[in-house]
Amino acid sequence: MLQKDSPAPEFNLYSTPDQRLKLGDFKGQRVILAFYPADWSPICSDELNLFNETLKLFTAKNAVLLGISVDSKWSHLAFAQSRKFHFPLLSDFEPKGEVSRQYGVYNDVDGESKRAIFLIDEHGIIQWSYLSPDGINPGAEGILAALDDMDKAKK
């Protein structure tokens, strides 16, 4: 798993069936990458619902949230619409898990992303990362604390 001070690997993934997003699209902003195992699973649903509710706090810290899993762009579209998410879900579908592998969070046994969070600064450098145990919602406290630490370091 990539650690603090590592450059965040660039990616170009589908965010909708006809639109792609690149990490470079967010240059000058902080980016929260939330890798998760699967759309529709109970824990992933809880985790992403919590992040959706916390979105205003992330935005106040100049951070955008991007969810990433190996599910298809069509699954993401249906999942995001049903849950009313206000952040993009990116499809690491083809080649399957390529971005998850680059970040060191692909689960080869289950063929899905591990539950992991990366906080990337305005210059594309990872400032915080966390690998959550399977079956555990990591919550948002760690992300918010890491964003606060980044603010303190700027002063």
pLDDT in tens, 91-142: 999 999 999 999 999 999 999 999 999 999 999 999 999 999 878 888 899 9
Which domains does the chain possess? 27-154 (3.40.30.10)
Task: Please report the beta strands in the chain, taking only residues with DSSP state E, as ranges in sequence order.
Answer: 12-16, 19-22, 30-35, 63-69, 89-91, 106-107, 112-113, 116-120, 126-131
pTM of the model: 0.96
Cα→Cα distances 46→1, 7, 36, 141, Å: 23, 29, 11, 15
Residue 21 three-state SS: strand
- pLDDT class of 144 with cuts at 50, 70, 90: very high
Which residues are part of the catalytic machinery?
Answer: 44
Secondary element (H or E) of residue 83: helix 73-83
